[in-house]
Amino acid sequence: MPVGDLDHRKLAEAFPVDPSLYNPTHDELNWLKKLTGIEDEKELKEHAIKTQAEGLAVFPYPCLKRFVFTSYKIGKHPAYKDVLALGNDRPGAIYLEIGCCFGNDVRKAISDGYPVENVIASDLEEGFWKVGHKFFRTTQETFPVPFLAGDVFDPSFLSPDTPPAPTSSAPATSTVPDINSITSLTPLQHNVTVIHAAAFFHLFREEQQTRLAFLLGSLLSPLPGSMIIGSHSVLPEEKIKGEIILNQLGRGPLFAHSPTSWRELWIGEGGVFRPSDAKVWAEVKESTFIVPADNSSATKVLGDLGRMRFLMTWSVVRI
């Protein structure tokens, strides 16, 4: 989860801590009890509030202020059953969580049966992964998922020189890298079966999102069914696509795709994959943003995005 040009102080001021935003669903609450070992709901909430403070000290992302780490996105994704099936039916199917933050989505997939020995996580900030261990009361020994700290745009961490492979019934490489011994994402190129990227793309400008799509595409296994899935903030179809000016957060605007421009990014002329190699699905729903509409500080920082956002859930699947 890269910080880019975002300003720590202004984010912290715009999105004050609010314990009332702790509101896991019934299923999420049971899941949290199981994974943390904390059965008392008051104690669990206090544990989450304490953990939130530690996470905000790493970087004050607004999503942390609504306790996003007490929920999961991947378990609600329409392709989730396919993810679990790939993990169980395809030997050595590597799952990569990019921008993993506390690792809650990784833990959801593993708790539902994805083989832990095939899972790897990555984030710019190692501090988030460490806080995740504290929240879920694990250690690297009791939850042995390899973690790689690094910037996905750093060529020494993920090489931009390897293009995405065409879809094929044969693996692109004869040997699969040992995820416990690698120190960057580059050895994983053409070897990852599932890539999950939630609340990630919307952190970047248009050119960066294009680069990111090609970089993630280079990691994807050529085998049919291999997939990149995720969700993030976008614009509704009628607005086509455009810049979201975060004039108080950084030097330049972030960028919001529409479903059409998102599909064009991945397949077709100039896209990551040929139309014969992959299919793209995207669905946009309107949802209230993480702060009330009358929060003038957030509105000043985020503009219209501070009042309302559109969330796109999507998948790119090899065919």
Q: How confident is the model at residue 241, as a pLDDT?
A: 60
Over its length of 319 residues, how does the chain's per-residue pLDDT go in tens digits? 444 445 556 555 655 678 889 999 999 999 999 999 999 999 999 999 999 999 999 998 888 988 999 999 999 999 999 999 999 999 999 999 999 999 999 999 999 999 999 999 999 999 999 999 999 999 999 999 999 999 999 999 999 999 999 999 998 877 889 999 999 999 999 999 999 999 999 888 889 999 999 999 999 999 999 999 999 988 666 555 655 544 334 445 678 888 889 999 999 789 999 999 999 999 998 875 544 444 444 444 444 444 446 889 999 999 9
Backbone angles phi, psi at 285, to 5 degrees: -130, 145
Find the angle CA(69)-CA(25)-CA(147) to the nearest 5 degrees: 25
Q: How confident is the model at residue 13, as a pLDDT?
A: 61
Q: How far apart are CA 275 and CA 145, in angstroms?
A: 34
Backbone angles phi, psi at 264, to 5 degrees: -65, -30
Q: How far apart are CA 14 and CA 198, in angstroms?
A: 22
Q: To which CATH superfamily is domain 72-318 assigned?
A: Vaccinia Virus protein VP39 (3.40.50.150)
* pTM, full prediction: 0.89
Q: How far apart are CA 303 and CA 299, in angstroms?
A: 5
Q: How confident is the model at residue 175, as a pLDDT?
A: 85
Domains of the chain, by residue range, sit at 72-318
Backbone angles phi, psi at 311, to 5 degrees: -105, 125
Q: How confident is the model at residue 16, as a pLDDT?
A: 65
Backbone angles phi, psi at 106, to 5 degrees: -60, -45
DSSP states of the chain: ---TT--HHHHHHHS---GGG----HHHHHHHHHHH----HHHHHHHHHHHHHHHHHH---HHHHTTGGGS-SGGGSTTHHHHHHHHHHSTT-EEEEES-TT-HHHHHHHHTT--GGGEEEEES-HHHHHHHHHHHT--TTTS---EEE--TT-TTTS-TTSPPPPP-SS-SSSS---TTT-SSSGGGTT-EEEEEEES-GGGS-HHHHHHHHHHHHHHB-SSTT-EEEEEEEE--GGG-SEEE--TTTSSS-EEE--HHHHHHHHBSTTSSB-TTTEEEEEEEEEEE-SS-TT-HHHHHHHGGGGTEEEEEEEEEEE-
